[in-house]
């Protein structure tokens, strides 16, 4: 079984990334043959970004993935732009990607509204590139957060359309979404997903935050005027903190509600802060050890790209063949 997933190098990684993605990556490493993980720097160009900062963000992300538990000897870890088959397949998949489906993508609608100067075509084609990322490796499973569910469904639809149009070449992937923690919310605006791109310093818990910063951010997290520590539609802030504490402790959210029944928000937030500090401490410490050695990180990404390319090239050859792209390959007599 093959597992694939990618993560954007858009600044420092936060608690939502760790709970919703990185822990799933590590779990997949134990089951897959191989597990393939990609730092998707091409996706980062879909919105306004700093070209000078992007290379360092890639290394930040690679170091954080390794610190979280990925072992480059047991998985394939690489930079997306180093494997050009991703971009070639994106163009070819565009021949079966319905324009109307792309228009209906929720993330495109949300992100395009936030862009101040121009809405890039690359943002519109983001789901096609994401489909190419997955389909080029014939991945069986894709661990993602809940916000990527719609994109994964489109990737499956693109694979079906391609196979019915040109021939059975691509594999329809299954998405794997965590039962708890699939969508960690912004601490100051708990109706929005925690996001490095659109969040603020106070609304994000970074994985490499110092313990006191984590405690302070949790203590100032937006809640509501009530006192009940329960999950409810009209209590998004408390619901978010309950889920964070449940994931940090590895228990069901209902157990958290029972434990803190009748207690105030102050004690509850202190417990959340301490649990998050404990959860992230080993990753933060390991990251601090890994990040300074940029030569090693570049070597890991280059070696991973070689291994990824070896898997991608045969699939790309099959795609070109069934689509009639490139020279005719004569069968050996």
CATH number where 240 lies: 1.10.240.10
Residue 206: the pLDDT is 94
Tokens of 206: 């970074």
- Sheet with 174-176: strands ordered across: 76-79, 35-39, 3-7, 141-143, 174-176
The answer to whether residue 215 sits within a structural domain is yes
Whether residue 159 sits in one domain with residue 220: no
The count of C-alpha atoms lying within 13 angstroms of the C-alpha of 224, restricted to the half-sphere facing its C-beta, is 18
Q: How far apart are CA 55 and CA 50, in angstroms?
A: 10
For residue 75, what is the domain's CATH number?
3.40.50.620
Q: Are residues 138 and 251 in the same domain?
A: no
Statement to judge: residues 169 and 309 lie in one domain? yes
Nearest one of 215, 196, 277 to 12, comparing CA atoms: 196
Number of domains forming the structure of the chain: 2
How many Å apart are CA 19 and CA 182, to the nearest integer? 7
Give the pLDDT of residue 280.
Answer: 97
141 φ, ψ (degrees, to nearest 5): -130, 150
Are 166 and 89 part of one and the same domain?
Answer: yes
User: Domain for residue 332, yes or no?
Assistant: no
Looking at the fold, whether 48 and 146 belong to one and the same domain comes out as yes
7 with 146, same domain? yes
**Are 283 and 305 part of one and the same domain?**
no
Same domain (yes/no): 303, 285: no
Whether residues 97 and 240 fall in one domain: no
What's the pLDDT score for residue 116? 59
When the pLDDT of each residue in the chain is averaged and rounded to a whole number, the result is 90
Q: Are residues 160 and 38 in the same domain?
A: yes
Is position 184 within any domain?
no
For the CA atoms of 117, 122, 127, 131, what is the dihedral angle to 10 degrees?
Answer: -160
Range of the domain at 230: 201-289
pLDDT digits (tens, 9 = 90+) for 150-159: 888 999 999 9
pLDDT over threshold 80, residue 8: yes
| Residue from 126, 142, 89 nearest 320 by CA | 89
Q: Are residues 302 and 246 in the same domain?
A: no
Q: Is pLDDT of 331 > 60? A: no
Q: Is residue 195 part of a domain?
A: no
Rounded CA-CA distance 110/163 in Å is 31
Q: Over pLDDT 70: what percentage of the chain?
A: 96
pLDDT band at residue 333, thresholds of 50, 70 and 90? very low
Is 23 found in the same domain as 118?
A: yes
Dist CA 160 CA 233 (whole Å): 37
Residue 192 within any structural domain of the chain: no
* Spatial CA neighbour of 7 closest among 81, 69, 80, 75: 80
The verdict on residue 186 lying in a domain is no
In a domain, 137, yes or no: yes
Distance CA 96, CA 167 (A): 13
The residues facing 278 across adjacent strands are none
pLDDT above 70: residue 20: yes
The string of pLDDT tens digits covering residues 43-93 is: 988 877 899 999 999 999 999 999 999 999 999 999 999 999 999 999 999
Q: Confirm whether 12 is domain-assigned.
A: yes
Lowest mean pLDDT among 8-22, 31-45, 230-244, 245-259: 8-22
């Amino acid at each position: 079984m093959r597992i694939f997933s990618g993560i954007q190098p858009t600044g420092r990684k936060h608690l939502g990334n760790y709970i919703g993605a990185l822990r799933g990556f590590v779990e997949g490493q134990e089951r897959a043959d191989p597990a393939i993980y990609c730092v998707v720097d091409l996706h980062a160009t879909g919105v306004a970004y700093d070209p000078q900062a992007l290379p360092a963000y890639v290394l930040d992300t690679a170091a954080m993935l390794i610190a979280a538990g990925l072992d480059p000897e047991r998985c394939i870890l690489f930079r997306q732009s180093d494997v050009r088959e991703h971009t070639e397949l994106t163009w070819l998949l565009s021949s079966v990607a319905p324009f109307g489906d792309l228009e209906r993508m929720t993330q495109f609608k949300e992100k395009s509204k936030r862009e101040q100067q121009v809405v890039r075509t690359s943002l519109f084609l983001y789901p096609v590139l994401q489909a190419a990322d997955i389909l080029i490796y014939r991945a069986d499973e894709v661990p993602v957060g809940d916000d990527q569910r719609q994109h994964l469904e489109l990737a499956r639809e693109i694979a079906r359309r391609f196979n019915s149009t040109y021939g059975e070449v691509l594999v329809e992937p299954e998405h794997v979404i965590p039962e708890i923690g699939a969508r960690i919310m912004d601490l100051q605006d708990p109706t929005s997903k925690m996001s490095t791109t659109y969040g603020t310093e106070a609304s994000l818990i970074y994985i490499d935050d110092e313990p006191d910063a984590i405690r302070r951010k949790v203590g100032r997290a937006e809640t509501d005027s009530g006192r009940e520590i329960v999950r409810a539609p009209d209590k998004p802030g408390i619901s978010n903190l309950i889920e964070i504490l449940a994931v940090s402790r590895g228990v069901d959210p209902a157990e958290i509600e029972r434990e803190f029944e009748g207690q105030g928000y102050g004690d509850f937030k202190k417990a959340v802060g301490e649990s998050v500090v404990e959860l992230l401490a080993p990753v933060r410490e390991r990251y601090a050890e890994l990040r300074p050695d940029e030569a090693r990180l570049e070597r890991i990404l280059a070696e991973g790209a070689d291994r990824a390319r070896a898997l991608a090239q045969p699939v790309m050859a099959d795609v070109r063949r069934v689509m009639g792209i490139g020279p005719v390959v004569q069968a050996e007599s």
